[in-house]
Amino acid sequence: MRKYFSAVLMMSLISLETQGIDLSNHDFIDLSYAYNEDTIYWPTSPSKFSLKRLAHGQTEAGYFFAANTFATPEHGGTHIDASIHFHAMGRTVDQIPLEQLFLPGVLIDISDKTLHDRNYRLTREDVLLFEATHGQIATGTAVLLRTGWGKFWPDVKAYLGDDTSCDDSNLMFPSFGESAVRLLVEERKVALIGLDAASIDYGPSKDFIVHRIVSEHNVPGIENLANLDKLPATGFMLVALPVKIEGGSGGPVRAVALVPKHQ
């Protein structure tokens, strides 16, 4: 599958080259939340983000100097799930090929359906309906899902559906569904999925079937994306570079969309 992703990356680079790689013709959309005391983590996470000041001020030599130390669990805030997160033979975060982190993207919007169902899951029919309007999703594409949940960040109870510490049994939020992901990963052979909610499995999930499917196929997932309401349905590039943690099951990711200004 990697050769397909490489071909898509090359086509994307050629496309940018034909445009003169003039980044002034693109809008840059920041799809990541900053890490701070409000960053949302899974309820069972043993810790959250912390930033400790090591130095901040004038030195004896007369110049300013600042430095900090930070700590965070891998899975919180805008972060990527590497395949080893749910598959023993999956790639670790440092092993994710670059062509799966710099790739063309499409956005499927189900925010109208989640208004009436907090636990709505993207269906195969939803994907086919999207394709009927925008064309078949190409191999090597990043598929982002807009649930509308970004409007709740960083309100933990509104975002997760429950704010009980150390208890994830009552979560309620929308996400991908099994039938949709099987179509995307097994038939369309997409390279990455992501969304603006806390997990690529919906809140009440107990079997985490979506995580298991994508991990088996070495397809990363990005959770807690920001500003998906600013993206078009098609025609943008996604750059999603995680902290390169050797052996990591995931980690913070700075995700950016490049959207042509003519769209």
Distance CA 25, CA 256 (A): 15
Q: What is the CATH number of the domain that holds 29?
A: 3.50.30.50
Confidence bin at 258 (pLDDT 50/70/90): very high
- Quote the pLDDT of residue 262: 77
Whether 17 has a pLDDT exceeding 90, the answer reads no
For residue 263, pLDDT over 80 is answered with no
Mean pLDDT score of the chain: 93
Residue 53 in any domain: the answer is: no
Q: Is residue 59 assigned to a domain?
A: no
Helix (H) or strand (E) holding 168: none
Q: Is the peptide bond before 154 cis (omega within 30 degrees of 0)?
A: yes
Q: Which two tokens stand for residue 134?
A: 């925008």
Does residue 26 carry a catalytic annotation?
A: no
Question: What's the Cα-to-Cα distance from 173 to each of 10, 22, 215, 255, rounded to whole Å?
Answer: 36, 39, 21, 22
Q: Is 66 a member of any domain?
A: no
On whether residue 50 sits in a domain, the answer given is: no
The pTM (predicted TM-score) of the whole model is 0.91
* Marked catalytic residue, from 26, 75, 85, 211: 85
Contacts of 34 (CB under 8 A, 6+ apart): none
Task: Indicate the pLDDT class of residue 94, thresholds 50, 70 and 90.
Answer: very high
Pairing label, strands 250-260, 26-30: antiparallel
How many structural domains comprise the chain?
1
Which range marks the domain in which residue 171 is found?
2-45+73-260
